[in-house]
Structure 1
Amino acid sequence: MSVAGDDAGAPVLATSGLTKRFGGKGGQTAVDAVDLTVPRGAVYGFLGPNGSGKTTTIRMVLGLVRPTAGDVRLLGGRVPDDVATVLPRVGALVEGPGFHPYLSGRANLARLDAVDRLADPRTAARRIDEALDRVDLLGSARKRFRAYSLGMRQRLAIAATLLQPRDLLVLDEPTNGLDPQGTREVRTLIGRLNQEGVTLLVSSHLLSEIEQVCTHLGVMRAGRLVAQGASAEVLGSTRLSAEVTTPDGARAADVLAGLGLTEVSFAPDGVTLTLEGVAPEAVVAALVGAGVAVRGFVVRHATLEDRFIELTGGGFDADE
């Protein structure tokens, strides 16, 4: 199924100037001129503090909230004009799963499938089992939902989005509240679905999980998109840091200043520094050449958490 203008090389999702204000003129601007681009085949990590506009953006993309201004192109169609055509190709999990606790996993999916006007009841049993199998729940299909672990419940919710063929999955906080085992289960599932050719937009608070699975990143702050691109591009602008273990901290600081490295701080067993365009091996050579007793030198690569704090100025509650 496709709509006019659905180009295989075009982004699966692209917004232009997407804006949402609540309370009329002079009210709160929740999303401010966001230009989001989700390439086909990507796992796009959508990040931001609480209150930064992520969920509102997702709701506008899915046609659940009407934008104040801007344009949304989804799978070649426009939202909200073409939602009836494009949304059947999108699976969405927003604000957690909702299932009947006393029904089995299979029975819960059967209820959801039965209310889908586009679902063929003649193929329901096969499609339900295929969806359960894709999330590794076929062996637990007869178990009541109330007996499922949190990880199993999230995987069942993702199975519900896979009852029909999907080109895009939108997962809002798919690992929220999960223990490490459940988080790993969902992370593995996201990677496997992507390998099968599904594009995913994943909003999550767990930066370490996003860093492991996502190919592209977008970071929101106070309603604005402050960074976007391939993961390596977004992370690449964060400078490397290093720790020098030495009893000659003051002398080391002087040598580093001579190299033009100004972000140097003293630590109990030496100094820490930011490598501002100077190669680590050049720093070591300069220290040793100046007679500094270097007992250890460790380079710390930038993490997504480092970059997130740099872009947003704090933790996930920074803008609430």
Structure 2
Amino acid sequence: MSLTIEVPGASAGAPPPRGTGHAIVTRGLTKRFRGGQVAVDSLDLAVPAGSVFGFLGPNGSGKTTTIRMLLGLVRPTSGGCEVLGEPMPEGLAGALPRVGALVEGPAFYPYLSGEANLRRIDAADPTSDRRTAAHRIAAALDRVGLTAAAGKRYRAYSLGMRQRLAIASALLVPRELLILDEPTNGLDPQGTREMRGLVREIAEAGTTVFVSSHLLAEVEQMCTHVGVMRTGRLVAQGPIAELRSGGEPRIRIETPDPAAAARVLGALGLTGVREGDGEVSADLGAEAPERVNAELVARGVAVRGLAVQRPSLEDVFVGLTGEGFDVEA
């Protein structure tokens, strides 16, 4: 059974026509494994060129299988996909030199240093310029914060350092599209913040960035657009701002008399009224917050503070699907 989430400004329906400025387009993309397991089910995905697109979903929802099909590593059972205008996997030769990718635990030589590993990777790339290799490798290590550890053997790297090196390997040559599968995996909070900044910097330079993650909070802070997977199906996609607009804003009032404030909010027809210690909140609906404030003051309720809280992306999707995502960074 198909599950489609109706969100204003978003669509989980038909993909765009060809030639409409999308870096990735899939049409009915499906992958069934032996035994009948459906990993990806009729996926219609549209990733705008120049966006930072968050491919979001719990572990096991089909994200990595989708990425493997996009990169020609796995053949779809049915449907098709285009990457940078090239049909996959037929257009591998035309697309892959323009794509950088980090997919699930890239392999490096444990007894070589981080820098030596990047030299080997760069030498194997027929599109790279050997004359600029040293400069590009140094720049890639610097961008991910590994300059000081460039000479350290890979086997001595922490999980976070290994993740940084993998991303550096994807940045050795300028790319039109960068595909990152769980890029913040193993990073500490500081490293996670740096990675967010790096992704934004790459996007501002004109590269489309496709980020797969199960961490909703990271996607919300990093991405301009989002697609949400659940059990192999796309349940929503669109600009984050428009997805968030599908949630109900709440008004929160700080007051020494929350019980009286709650009665006023109820009289105004606001729903979802909740009292707390020194505050009261409610669904704002179509009511103007300034009218709420004026009504509270007119009825003798002291107002210490008033704020309208827009729903987070987590709030929206919990409301739509009845389930949450991992929000721990």
* TM-score range relative to shorter protein: 0.7 to 0.9
Corresponding residue for residue 10 of structure 1: 21
Q: Contact 2:160–2:185 at 8 Å: present in 1 too?
A: no
For 2:124, which of 107, 112, 115 is the aligned residue?
115
| Superposition deviation, residue 175 in structure 1 | 0.5
| Superposition deviation, residue 6 in structure 1 | 9.3
Corresponding residue for residue 195 of structure 2: 186
Bigger Cα displacement from structure 2, 208-217 vs 70-79: 208-217
Q: Contact 2:27–2:79 at 8 Å: present in 1 too?
A: yes
The residue correspondences of 1:257-268 to structure 2 (distance < 5 A) are: 257-268=266-277
Give, in whole Å, the separation in 1 of the partners of 2:258 and 2:93.
Answer: 66
Q: Within the alignment, does 1:287 sit opposite 2:296 as a pair? A: yes
Structure 2: segments with no counterpart, 5+ residues: 1-16
Bigger Cα displacement from structure 2, 86-95 vs 279-288: 279-288
Q: Contact 2:24–2:47 at 8 Å: present in 1 too?
A: yes
Per-residue CA deviations over 1:33-56 (Å, capped at 9, x if unaligned) read: 222111111111111122222222
Q: Contact 1:151–1:185 at 8 Å: present in 2 too?
A: no
Give, in whole Å, the separation in 2 of the partners of 1:249 and 1:196.
Answer: 50
* Gap change, CA 1:78 and 1:253, over 3 Å in 2: same
| Superposition deviation, residue 275 in structure 1 | 1.4
Q: Within the alignment, does 1:60 sit opposite 2:69 as a pair? A: yes
Bigger Cα displacement from structure 2, 230-239 vs 262-271: 262-271
Q: Percent identity?
A: 61
| Superposition deviation, residue 123 in structure 1 | 5.0
Per-residue CA deviations over 1:178-222 (Å, capped at 9, x if unaligned) read: 111211221221122112211100112333332222111112222
TM-score normalised per structure 1: 0.86
Per-residue CA deviations over 1:132-178 (Å, capped at 9, x if unaligned) read: 34434345432323444544332221111123331111001111121
* Gap change, CA 1:231 and 1:211, over 3 Å in 2: same
For 1:47, which of 48, 53, 56 is the aligned residue?
56
Q: Contact 1:211–1:304 at 8 Å: present in 2 too?
A: yes
Give, in whole Å, the separation in 1 of the partners of 2:40 and 2:283.
Answer: 34
* Gap change, CA 1:39 and 1:267, over 3 Å in 2: same
For 1:170, which of 176, 179, 191 is the aligned residue?
179
Give, in whole Å, the separation in 2 of the partners of 1:277 and 1:21.
Answer: 46
Corresponding residue for residue 206 of structure 2: 197
The residue correspondences of 1:147-166 to structure 2 (distance < 5 A) are: 147-166=156-175
Q: Contact 1:6–1:77 at 8 Å: present in 2 too?
A: no
Give, in whole Å, the separation in 1 of the partners of 2:179 and 2:42.
Answer: 21
TM-score normalised per structure 2: 0.84
Q: Contact 2:81–2:88 at 8 Å: present in 1 too?
A: yes
